[in-house]
Chain A
Amino acid sequence: MSDSLLTLRGLSVWFPIGDRLFGRKPMLHAVEGVDLDLRAGEALGIVGESGCGKSTLARAVLQLVRPTHGQVVWMGRRIEELSLGELRPLRRDLQIVFQDPLASLNPRLTIGEIVAEPLRVHRPELDSAGRKREVADILGRVGLSADIINRYPHEFSGGQCQRIGIARAMVLRPKLLICDEPVSALDVSIQAQIVNLLKELKRDFGMTILFVSHNLAVVRRLCERVLVLYLGRTMELAPTDELYERPLHPYTRGLLAAVPIPDPDVQPARLGTSLGGELPSPLSPPSGCVFRTRCPDATAQCEREVPVFKAAEPDHHVACLRWHELRPQNRR
Chain B
Amino acid sequence: MPSTPATADLPAAGHSPMTTTAAPVLEIEDLSVRFATPDGEIPAVNDFSLTIRAGECIGVVGESGAGKSQSFLAVMGLLASNARVAGRARFEGRELLGRPAEELNQVRGSRLSMIFQDPMTSLTPHMRVGEQISESLLRHTSTTPAQARARALALLNRVHVTDAERRLDQYPHELSGGMRQRVMIAVALACDPVMLIADEPTTALDVTIQAQILQLLAELKREQGMAMVLVTHDLGVVAGIADRVAVMYGGRLVELGTVRQVLKMPHHPYTQALLRSMPRVDEPADAPLVTIQGQPPNPRRLPPGCAFHPRCEQAQERCRSERPPLVERDGARFACHFPIEWGAPA
Contacts and interface: CB of A to CB of B under 8 A. Distances in A.
A312 interface: no
A85 interface: no
B279 interface: yes
Given A190-B295, A214-B206, A271-B211, A221 B240 contact: no
Contact of B233 (A187, A216, A261, A263): A187
A264 B292 contact: no
A157 interface: yes
B206 A244 contact: no
Interface string B244-286: 0000000000000001100110000000011101111111110
Contacts of A279: 176, 206
A9 B296 CA distance: 44
Contacts of A103: none
A278 B281 contact: no
A220 B287 CA distance: 10
B212 interface: yes
A187 B281 CA distance: 18
A50 B277 CA distance: 25
A275 B205 CA distance: 14
Contacts of B278: 188, 192, 217, 262
Given A220-B285, A221-B289, A258-B207, A195 B279 contact: yes
Interface string B225-243: 0000000011111111100
Interface of A (DSSP majority class) = helix
B280 to A, nearest CB: 6
Contacts of B146: none
Contacts of B209: 49, 278
Contacts of A267: 236, 239-240
Contacts of A224: 285
A221 B285 contact: yes
Contacts of A287: none
A266 B283 CA distance: 13
A49 B207 contact: yes
Interface in A191-212: 191-193, 195-196
Given A190-B295, A195-B289, A271-B241, A261 B206 contact: no
B208 interface: yes
Contacts of B207: 49, 214, 216, 255, 258-259
Contact of B285 (A190, A214, A241, A268): A241
A270 B290 CA distance: 25
Interface residues on A, range: 35 or more
B1 A192 contact: no
B289 A187 contact: no
Given A187-B63, A264-B260, A264-B263, A254 B233 contact: no
Interface string A246-269: 000000001111111111111110
Contacts of A262: 234-236, 238-239, 263, 275, 278, 280
B105 interface: no
B206 A50 contact: yes
A329 interface: no
A61 B122 CA distance: 38
Given A188-B63, A270-B211, A271-B240, 14 more contacts: A187-B296, A188-B233, A192-B278, A220-B279, A220-B284, A221-B289, A258-B208, A258-B210, A260-B214, A264-B1, A264-B264, A271-B215, A275-B212, A278-B209
27 contacts: A49-B209, A188-B274, A189-B63, A189-B274, A189-B291, A189-B295, A192-B279, A192-B289, A192-B290, A192-B292, A193-B292, A195-B289, A214-B206, A214-B207, A220-B279, A220-B285, A241-B285, A260-B234, A264-B260, A267-B236, A268-B2, A268-B218, A271-B218, A271-B240, A271-B241, A275-B212, A278-B178
